[in-house]
Amino acid sequence: MPRIPIIMPQLGESIAEATIVTIPFALGDTVQCDQDIVEVETQKATMGVTSPCAGSIVEWSIEINQSYAVGAVLGYIHCTDEEARRLGLDTAAVGSAEEFEALPHGFTPADKGAPGISSYASRGVEPTVRGLPVPAHASGASFLSPRMKARMAELGLHAADLAGIAGSGAAGRLTIDDLENFLAQLNDHQLSNASSMRVAVADAMRRSWTRPIATVGMPVVIDAMLAHRKTCNPKPGPALYALRALAIALGENSAVAGRLVGDKIVHPRSIDLGFAVEAEDGVLVPVLRNADRTPLGELLNRYSDLVDLARRRRLPANATGGSIATVTNFGTFGLEWATPIPLPEQTLVLGMGAGRVVPHWDAARAEFHPATEAHFTLSFDHRVLDGGGAGRLLARITELLSNPSEL
């Protein structure tokens, strides 16, 4: 009976491994083709690994809470000869159980020749990376000796992790002794493991901060938006209004959201915008595709679904990554002003503060009247955009929000 390996798939761009969360099936259980048989967690979401074929589980090679690289063999399924033929595998090529047991875990198909045992070859973790991604573990520039860098690589540390250590070497240089003393002192403190989500957020912000980030802001009267929202059922959230206004503004001039790579500005191919959603121990950024060409009402259901999926950490792969800017509503925490940081692959992040009633001057009537005002901020990569361009973009967003029925 053919014995088919269960392989850890590529679960997203730049993802090299995943942690086993649950194993719902025991040895001998029958599974269907493409059925979720293992639940895994990556830095971005919790998702399922599907069965490559119908059959019965004959071996698990994994443990809960352990991480396994993309391409690792997680277990094996016995399937019928008929099922093997349906998959395009001839039973002779698939090989015997004894042959498969001789394979070390981590072997994956090399796509050479027949798809059976003879075509399996060892390879390292090679995550699928498309577009112009930022490396997942890029180190920042620092004055560190080769020996120090080797020790940090061994421990999985970045220069930012050592920012609080006073160096005792020449000109304040950090030495190996400084590092080892720092590590020894950590044991005197209460320690807990950072979640994969927290590590992912920390790494993204560290990489973002290697660029010159600037922020501009202005108060925006949002009474028209609030009045329009009352007429809607269901009601769009303020962040969705801001996202749609940003999308229209970028659709008119997408160059300001371009990325600087060398001496070239890489223009976005579509206006795909993310929005920040607070999840357990971190933030996820679902993406609304082609937001400039989709009216506010049509975005609403998709937006609500993605918020729910993000809070449960169940975002599908096509709902993350590839966005050119993000909208974040820090006003939900009562904050009136903040300076959010764009994601490493983005140039812009639009922030919204809490609304408050203030006296507002009406030039036409030459008098003050109460108005609900919120501060909007635009943080940007100063290499790509200057203060004037950022100010004009923010002014255009403000103008669009004053006519919410056109969104």
Q: What is the CATH class of 3-121?
A: mainly beta
Instruction: Give the distance, in angstroms, between the CA of residue 212 and the centroid of all CA atoms in the same chain.
Output: 21
Helix, strand, or coil here: 5? strand
Helix, strand, or coil here: 369? strand
Q: Which pLDDT does position 107 carry in this prediction? A: 41
Q: Which pLDDT does position 380 carry in this prediction? A: 95
Does the structure show a pLDDT above 60 at 339? yes
Contact predicate 312/284, CB 8 Å: no
Q: Which pLDDT does position 298 carry in this prediction? A: 93
What value does the mean pLDDT of the chain take? 81
Does the structure show a pLDDT above 80 at 139? no
User: Domain ranges in the chain?
Assistant: 3-121, 146-198, 212-406
Write phi, then psi, for 260 (nearest 5 degrees). -90, 120
> Which range (55-64, 83-92, 334-343) has the least confidence?
83-92
Does the structure show a pLDDT above 60 at 94? no
The pLDDT-based confidence of 13 (bands split at 50, 70, 90) is low
Stretch 70-96: mean pLDDT: 74
Topology given in CATH for the domain delimited by 212-406 = Chloramphenicol Acetyltransferase (3.30.559)
Q: Which pLDDT does position 143 carry in this prediction? A: 59
Q: Which residues sit opposite 55 in a β-bridge?
A: 31
> Which range (28-37, 167-176, 222-231, 274-283) has the least confidence?
167-176
Structural element, H or E, at residue 219: strand 213-221
